[in-house]
A and B are shown apart, each in its own frame.
Chain A
């Protein structure tokens, strides 16, 4: 457990200055154009809200350019994962907050969703 905590701290030390990492423990940076959706004031994981200002800035923080505008632009420039931005990302698992997303990726924990998630037409 101690090693996991150290890893979480190391990961945050790398990701916070570059991407403004909020330590959600279930990183989706690769599918959002390397733009962290948790830096959206509404923490939206599936695209921009309807409140984006005409100049492309945030409804909540007018000084901030919409995180999702950046995400769309950057995802187009990525050699990989370009189409992933259109995927429906599951609700945030709040039990993972503060844990290492790297570790959760390795163990597959970050891809575990509640049993009722992603239900398709019967």
Chain B
């Protein structure tokens, strides 16, 4: 059983983070990227061609993370592979002991730098969750057996900040019923929409079914803020927030303060089961933010316990 699964099963608060994309540099680059945040994070997402840009594959990066002694969450998107390829990567992940899987539909190819690619979407996000569960029960989608079955902790994503706002919890519930046990939320710069999602998730019982993990992005520059506001599908940044960074004397400090405010707000929402961090800083931004928020390092949380959200 993965450490993440153990913690989620015990109802403990979890911290996940995104490993920056890997192109060149091999294992030493992965170790270099992990170093500043390793102490605070329970598991690291190995992303799957984020924003439809090709990078080292999530399976390869997940295996390298295991070798580096940290726990991966292997993201798997439906955009680039048909069901056979998805099943092959999942069974391959199981073979290497990669247990945490995060299933997503994926940005469209038009969001990336090779928009002329064929989009696949042979499965959608909820179907991929269901197929992953099928594999973990010891057979392929066809019914052909796998002995012994790979062990998976299945997760999914949801975007509280994209329409239809009133149906996002219903869609997340579909994912929970398909087999998801944690839900990493898309970065959300509209706190009122995260609040709404969490309110509805509590009312429907969704927050009892799976661990809801909002994402917090630590940006660094005005350019980065503008990129997120205009180029990343599904992220709605209020013009006032962009202006705040543009007009700041020190954009990096202001970006950090913004992340801090959004993270504090997310932690205040009853039912939040953890936080997911994405940092574009070159230094230990995640460690600094955790310290500021009062989230202890992983080992300390494991020894002394930590409860961010009293109502969880």
Count of B residues near A, CB < 8 Å?
A: 46
User: Which residue of the partner chain, among B121, B122, B186, contacts A50 with CB atoms under 8 Å?
Assistant: B186
Please report the total number of A residues contacting B with Cβ < 8 Å.
Answer: 35
Least CB distance from B75 to A in Å reads 13
A88 and B177 form a contact (CB under 8 A):
yes
Partner of A47 from the list B130, B144, B174, B177 (CB cut-off 8 Å) is: B174
Residues of A within 8 A of B143 (CB): 114-116
Q: How far is the CA of A82 from the CA of B111 in the complex (A)?
A: 33
Contact A117 B134 (CB under 8 A): yes
**A122 & B137 in contact (Cβ 8 Å cutoff):** yes
B-contact 0/1 string along A85-97, CB 8 Å cutoff: 0101111101000
Contact of B162 among A52, A91, A115, A117 (CB under 8 A): A52
Give every chain B residue within 8 A of A108 (Cβ-Cβ): none
A50-B163 CB under 8 A given contacts A41-B108, A116-B134: no
User: By CB atoms of chain B within 10 A, which of A50, A53, A56, A59 has the most?
Assistant: A50
B110 to chain A: which residues have CB within 8 Å? Answer: 59-60
Residue contact A59 to B108, C-beta cutoff 8 Å: yes
Q: Which residues of B contact A90 (CB under 8 A)?
A: 127
A54 close to B236 (CB less than 8 A): yes
* A49 and B167 alpha carbons, distance in the complex (Å): 12
Q: Chain A residues near B162 (CB, 8 Å)? A: 48, 50-54
Instruction: Check B173–A118 contact: CB distance below 8 A.
Output: no
CA A50 – CA B108 in complex, angstroms?
A: 10
Number of A-B contacts defined by CB within 8 Å: 124
B121 near A44 with CB under 8 A, answer yes
Asked if A42 meets B121 with Cβ closer than 8 Å, knowing A72-B164, A88-B130, the reply is: yes
- Does any Cβ of B come within 8 Å of A12's Cβ? no
Residue B119 at the A interface, CB < 8 A? Answer: yes
Q: Are the CB atoms of B108 and A47 closer together than 8 Å?
A: no
Contacts of B173 in A (CB 8 A): 86
State A48–B121 Cα separation when bound (angstroms): 13
Indicate if A104 sits at the interface (CB-CB under 8 A).
no
Residues of chain B with a CB closer than 8 A to A53's CB:
162-163
Quick one: given A42-B108, A117-B141, are A51 and B127 in contact (CB under 8 Å)?
Answer: no
B140 and A116 form a contact (CB under 8 A) = yes
Q: Which residues of A contact B (CB under 8 A)?
A: 41-54, 56, 59-60, 66, 68-69, 72, 86, 88-92, 94, 114-119, 122
Nearest first, the 7 A-B pairs at minimum CB distance are A115-B143, A50-B159, A51-B233, A46-B126, A119-B134, A47-B171, A51-B234
Q: List 6 A-B contacts (CB under 8 A).
A: A42-B119, A44-B125, A50-B186, A53-B163, A69-B164, A114-B143
